[in-house]
């Protein structure tokens, strides 16, 4: 029965107990009633699974746009613009700079307590003893990292480091190989997301040098082409052993090795 197969497939995204409930229901009630009840179960399943995930997930929405759902169900968007999966309300929105292709906040549904972090954000910890200014929101430590080049002014642009449990994720924003990259090498970065378009950012060759400086466990190329275009040739030229390539729409679990 195709309908049963389709619904069973959808439920594989959720917890096993909901699948078993749906199969038992299908045998004992009319089809139309099964569809209504299973829809309700599916909604409950999504809510339950989002609030208690095994691992934090990252979805590459395209260009520089990232969606993160933590294992506690917190939803974070970085540089909203590309892609379509902005269906979950944000707990935190990070804007690296205010160019149009990094700051389409109208795509994001806000909660009453959504926090927006931008280059003008007033960070709590600005002490000289700290490498980078930082703040803590919903249990997530966030550091602001310099990001600049001839197209992006230092005072108007950031990258961000997020502490997600034992995972340290660095989103470089728009930048080139700058002096501050050396400060990242001792931070045990788990994932480094680096721009490689070679137009408004460093090109794949320069990004390869930066990746070796940062020394992250895994490196994900972002902003791979001009105007959000996904450039496979640039990705190929980004020659680093620990490269993890994501296409728009790909989702991974963030795990420290």
Q: What percent of the chain has pLDDT over 70?
A: 77
CA–CA distance, 206 with 196 (Å, rounded to integer): 8
Identify the CA nearest to 153 among candidates 175, 121, 183.
Answer: 175
CA–CA distance, 107 with 90 (Å, rounded to integer): 10
Contacts of 163 (CB under 8 A, 6+ apart): 140, 141, 142
Collapsing DSSP to helix, strand or coil, 49 comes out as: helix
Helices (H) and strands (E) in the chain — how many of each? Answer: 5, 12
CA–CA distance, 54 with 60 (Å, rounded to integer): 19
pLDDT digits (tens, 9 = 90+) for 181-207: 999 999 999 999 999 999 899 999 999
DSSP of 83-150: SS---SPEEEEE-S--SGGG--GGGSPEEEEEEEE-TT---SB--TTSSS-EEEETTEEEEEEE--BT
Q: Is the pLDDT at 2 greater than 50, yes or no?
A: no
pLDDT band of 3, cuts 50, 70, 90: very low
Per-residue pLDDT averaged across 69-86, rounded?
96
**Assigned fold of 56-254:** Metallo-beta-lactamase; Chain A (3.60.15)
Quick one: CA dihedral 200, 205, 206, 209, positive or negative?
positive
pLDDT digits (tens, 9 = 90+) for 26-66: 556 666 565 565 565 555 544 444 555 678 999 999 999 99
The DSSP symbol for 228 reads G
pLDDT digits (tens, 9 = 90+) for 169-188: 999 999 999 999 999 999 99
Question: Domain residues of the chain, as ranges?
Answer: 2-50, 56-254
């Amino acid at each position: 029965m195709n309908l049963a197969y389709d619904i069973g497939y959808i439920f594989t995204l959720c917890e096993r107990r909901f699948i078993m409930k749906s199969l038992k229901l299908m045998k004992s009630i009319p089809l139309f009633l099964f569809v209504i009840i299973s829809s309700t179960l599916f909604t409950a399943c999504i809510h339950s699974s989002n609030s208690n995930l095994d691992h934090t997930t990252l979805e590459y929405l395209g260009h520089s746009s990232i969606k993160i759902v933590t294992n506690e169900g917190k939803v974070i968007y970085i540089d909203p613009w590309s892609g379509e999966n902005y269906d979950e309300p944000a707990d935190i929105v990070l804007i690296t700079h205010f160019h149009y292709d990094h700051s389409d906040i109208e795509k994001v549904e806000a909660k009453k307590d959504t926090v927006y972090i931008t280059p003008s954000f007033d960070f709590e910890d600005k002490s000289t003893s700290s490498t980078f200014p930082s703040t803590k929101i919903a249990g997530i430590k966030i550091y602001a990292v310099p990001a600049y080049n001839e197209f992006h002014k230092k005072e108007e642009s950031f990258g961000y480091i997020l502490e997600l449990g034992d995972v340290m994720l660095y989103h470089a924003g728009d930048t080139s190989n700058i002096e501050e990259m050396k400060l990242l090498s001792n931070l045990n970065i788990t994932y480094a997301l680096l721009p490689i378009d070679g137009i408004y950012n460093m090109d794949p060759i320069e990004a390869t040098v930066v990746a070796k400086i940062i020394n992250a466990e895994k490196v994900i190329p972002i902003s791979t082409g001009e105007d959000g275009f996904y450039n496979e040739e640039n990705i190929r030229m980004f020659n680093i052993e620990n490269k993890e390539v994501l296409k728009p729409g790909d989702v991974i679990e963030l795990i420290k090795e």
